[in-house]
Homo-oligomer: A and B are copies of this chain.
Amino acid sequence: VSALVLTMGEPAGIGGEITLKAWLRRGEQLPEFFVVDDADRLQAIADALGMAVPVIRVTDPALAGEVFSSALPVLHQAMTRPVHPGAPDAANAPGVIGSIETAVSLTLSGHARGVVTNPIHKKTLYAAGFRHPGHTEFLAHLAGDGITPVMMLVGPELRVIPVTVHVPLADAINALSTYAIVRAGVIADAALRRDFGLASPRLAVAGLNPHAGEEKTIGGEDGELIAPAVAALRDQGIDAFGPLSPDTMFSPRSRRLYDAALCMYHDQALIPLKTLDVDGGVNVTLGLPFVRTSPDHGTAFDIAGQGIANENSLISALRLADALARRRAVGFT
Contacts and interface: CB of A to CB of B under 8 A. Distances in A.
A131 interface: no
- Which of A165, A208, A215, A278 has most chain B Cβ within 10 Å? A278
A278 B252 contact: yes
Interface stretch (A39-47, A69-77, A89-97, A268-276): A268-276
Contacts of A302: none
Contacts of A209: 168-169
A239 interface: no
B267 A210 contact: yes
**Interface range for A:** 35 or more
A169 B267 contact: no
A111 interface: no
Interface in A140-176: 165-171, 173
Contacts of A126: 217
B169 A219 contact: yes
Contacts of A265: 210
Contact of A170 (B165, B219, B253, B274): B219
Given A165-B210, A169-B169, A247-B266, 12 more contacts: A123-B215, A166-B218, A168-B220, A169-B219, A170-B173, A247-B270, A248-B278, A250-B274, A251-B274, A252-B278, A267-B268, A271-B272
Interface of A: 122-123, 126, 165-171, 173, 208-211, 213-215, 217-221, 246-248, 250-254, 265-268, 270-278, 297-298
